[in-house]
A and B are shown apart, each in its own frame.
Chain A
């Protein structure tokens, strides 16, 4: 009898592999980090991590509860997802605690954070860390200067947050209705003129709406290098002029002549499913396959990546400075980086989110775990996704939002 119990059930095998592997990595990390990590594990045992995460996607919610089951088995750390309708609710929570001088025993242990919220929390010193390098599984990340895992929303991560899933800006098209989808923003104008009312984008105060504008800006502006520097009045006006000309031209051909927009990308995907528009957007290359699997998108939904590539970033988790269960949160963050966890996450039947690990740093066995994952017609391969475009400096985002509102929302 093995110490891991009955292995006849095939279902237990992944858990078994996970368990042995984590024990071995635990062993190696002990050698390299002394007893540091073991101390963290000891401190963490028995704690519950309150993970504040946007709760609008049932597949992500299910994945988070799976993570909790695993960390409970492996380390005695439970995970309780606090489902948010907006990430800023967690930020407000931490801010209120800071205002009340509650600098420890805070309610938020971990946040699935987006770039703008990260920037805000970092600027206000609301985050714990740096701690990323101390995680044993950070060895699988490319943390060299300037790599994707070290920059969030053009802001240096500085070890304050841990990457966990890859995000790429993609279009979703209904292939039954769109035979020759537009490959670039200029083609999109022609397409919209031929198919009036069949295109829209999420409202610009929404993250996805801003991303669409940024993608258009990068594609249309003559010199993209300017976008990497902080925007000035002059540089913004010059660089954004082609964008506004393009937008003025396309607006009358948008859904409802561009007088109304879907609230977020989920509503826009619902519109695609209802047949109201033919193109939707997502920040997840697995969105089409996942939507088909959960019945939210038609089976004919396909991913479309702009031919020049698209904006991309990584989703991170961060720990607030006053979290109650810092050690336990680190254990969970480390578990998220486990190659087996990442492979499980990348499985289209689970979540379908691409791994954030550096493929060069993975063992053969791990690489096999990724390459043997099931495929789907609606799921692009990493190669098909093409190059990742650089995010413009964060100052551009605010200016884009402001100028768009002034021009089109009165």
Chain B
């Protein structure tokens, strides 16, 4: 098993990064460069706007992650009635998990394009109030999206990442005995809300720690969203790196590789800073809890958070709504509130184009995500049974594909695959997807797996259940929900892969995403609408399954 993991995941990762590292230090034989030197790094630091790019990356990355986490915690409290009202969202509370799914499932780029169209001075919100209220016949020359501080990029990231963290938290909360702990706390004089924040949150955070780090890493490295919502003169570091990689001057591959490595190191450092900060915060909270103060209700903060939560969700939904409208538009001129002329031609066009692409997308997603879940479970089970943890280094290596820009990593991977004679084909692409799907699956599963109450297993074992019996009948059935969620996340990750599909598939495997990304570079919102919604469709089905299947099963067991 371990051998498969090592060969299947670690070797390609190391091979992929090896090429990038060599290039960052001046060695790229395909270009006739054979000598070790540091000039790529010098070139990198001297590039204009480097410090601004760095600042932008850090601001948007940390701000987006911090805010998403705070809103997630508040959102969980709200879902369990431990917070203020969220007005009309309160009616939706029982359906909150399925409602988060479309935003979670939609591709980052689609949400970004939808949001940009909402908020731009020429966007939907302005159009709704123009010209009758604003008197604007032409859009005002204002700055909303692509602001120089990267705030609209941060907002986009929060909109997209909040549902991810929230859904994972809602699943993780099932592992905590809420009602018992809360009633004890209440009997000791803590208000319900206070008990929630002082007792439940410190238990929740360790369960979602790794997913939070995933969000941090994604926010620091996103290209899709930065391209649409971020400033571009200069852009974030990730976007700048991609530009250098795509530069027609092949010689730019060297500083681009250095930038890719630098970005990886920056992310590792950021993870370290984040972890240290969180440890400190947890310490302070612990001290505050120990004082035994029953606490005040922070009305103002609570109201502010409720407002922010509603705003974020509303903007997320509206981004999808405008995409849906665009997908049926022909022309939509300023300041019309709705399309000037309609057409279903874009959907019709797809009927001839998409069946094969959809088929490929589904096959790749099912294949890579299922294998990833099997691998993850096998890995964790082996650790449980034979003890010992795989070294931290191994764990870091698995996550490396998330830490460096894809293009940096894929070039080396492609060379590696070609050297062992793999050139294209579905299996190779599934393998390549696996490298990106597996870390996500592992990250969303590992904390829940470890939090499983071991006493169930001890009881079962003492009643004579074999190790396999424990595994099948207790672990898998108790962990069905996080397992299915991890599988659904894996599917969403696989559906979104563009470069791995293109490069490892040698361009011969068309998917919804390869079609969508190439078209999106042409900036046709109508087509982005059609493809974005289609891309969201498969993950929506997977998430819905992940949410409802366990309920169905537990219902069946209750009836028995």
Contact = CB atoms under 8 A, between A and B. Distances in A.
Interface in B131-164: 138-139, 141, 143, 146, 148
Interface in B308-339: 330-331, 333-335
B524 A88 contact: no
A97 B250 contact: no
Interface stretch (A78-86, A129-137, A338-346): A78-86
Contacts of B31: 95, 124
Contacts of A334: none
A57 B515 CA distance: 11
B233 interface: yes
A114 B333 contact: no
Interface in B74-122: 120-122
Interface in B246-261: 246-250
Contact of A107 (B334, B335, B424): B424
A56 B234 contact: no
Contacts of B481: none
A274 B146 contact: no
Contact of A203 (B52, B232, B424, B515): B232
A205 interface: yes
Interface band, chain B:
35 or more
B233 A261 contact: yes
A108 B418 contact: no
Interface in A120-172: 120, 123-124
Nearest to B345: A295
A409 B527 contact: no
A269 B424 CA distance: 36
Contacts, number: 185
Nearest to B50: A410
A263 B243 CA distance: 11
B139 A267 contact: no
Nearest to B147: A260
Interface in A214-257: 255-256
A19 B52 CA distance: 59
Contacts of A52: 507
Contact of A105 (B32, B330, B423, B503): B423
A236 to B, nearest CB: 17
Nearest to A90: B507
Given A275-B139, A410-B48, A88 B247 contact: yes
Contacts of A379: none
Given A108-B507, A256-B141, A264-B521, A274 B415 contact: no
B524 A50 contact: no
A107 B146 contact: no
Given A86-B521, A273-B333, A408-B233, A114 B418 contact: no
Interface string B184-201: 000000000000000000
B522 A93 contact: no
B250 A120 contact: yes
Interface in B404-443: 407, 411, 414-416, 418-419, 423-424
B506 A89 contact: no
A361 B458 CA distance: 89
Interface residues of A, number: 71
Contacts of A261: 232-233
Contacts of B122: 271, 274-276
A100 interface: yes
Contacts of A381: none
A232 B341 CA distance: 54
A102 B139 contact: no
B245 interface: yes
A120 B148 CA distance: 33
A98 interface: yes
A155 B330 CA distance: 42
B52 A95 contact: no
Contacts of B245: 88, 92
A405 B50 CA distance: 11
Contacts of A275: 122, 138-139, 333-335
B508 interface: yes
A220 to B, nearest CB: 22
Contact of B341 (A54, A124, A274, A295): A295
A259 interface: yes
A181 interface: no
Given A275-B138, A405-B48, A295 B521 contact: no
A140 B94 CA distance: 71
Nearest to B523: A266
A58 B462 CA distance: 66
A383 interface: no
Given A102-B423, A274-B334, A83 B48 contact: no
B502 interface: yes
Interface in B219-250: 227, 231-234, 243, 245-250
B30 interface: yes
Given A50-B507, A99-B30, A107-B423, A266 B334 contact: no
User: Most B CB atoms within 10 A — which of A50, A83, A97?
Assistant: A83
Contact of A260 (B138, B148, B334, B502): B148
Interface string B489-512: 000000000110011001110100
Contacts of A124: 30-32, 250
A96 interface: yes
B49 A88 contact: no
Contact of B143 (A86, A101, A256): A256
Given A82-B507, A107-B424, A409 B522 contact: no
A102 B341 CA distance: 51
Contacts of A85: 498, 517-518, 520-521
A277 to B, nearest CB: 9
A293 to B, nearest CB: 11
A298 interface: yes
A276 B503 contact: no
A196 interface: yes
A382 interface: no
Interface of B: 19, 28-32, 47-49, 52, 120-122, 138-139, 141, 143, 146, 148, 227, 231-234, 243, 245-250, 330-331, 333-335, 341, 343, 349, 407, 411, 414-416, 418-419, 423-424, 498-499, 502-503, 506-508, 510, 514-515, 517-527
24 contacts: A54-B521, A55-B522, A56-B520, A56-B523, A83-B514, A85-B521, A91-B250, A92-B411, A96-B414, A99-B19, A99-B28, A99-B30, A100-B414, A100-B419, A107-B506, A115-B248, A177-B138, A203-B233, A207-B248, A266-B521, A274-B333, A276-B122, A405-B49, A406-B48
Given A102-B418, A259-B148, 18 more contacts: A55-B519, A82-B502, A88-B247, A93-B414, A99-B19, A99-B30, A107-B506, A115-B248, A116-B249, A197-B141, A266-B522, A266-B523, A267-B523, A274-B120, A274-B122, A275-B122, A409-B234, A410-B48
Q: Which 3 A-B pairs have the closest CB atoms?
A: A116-B248, A56-B522, A55-B518
Interface of A: 50, 52, 54-58, 80, 82-93, 95-102, 105, 107-108, 114-117, 119-120, 123-124, 177, 196-197, 203, 205, 207, 255-256, 259-261, 263-264, 266-267, 269-271, 273-276, 295-296, 298, 398, 402, 405-406, 408-410
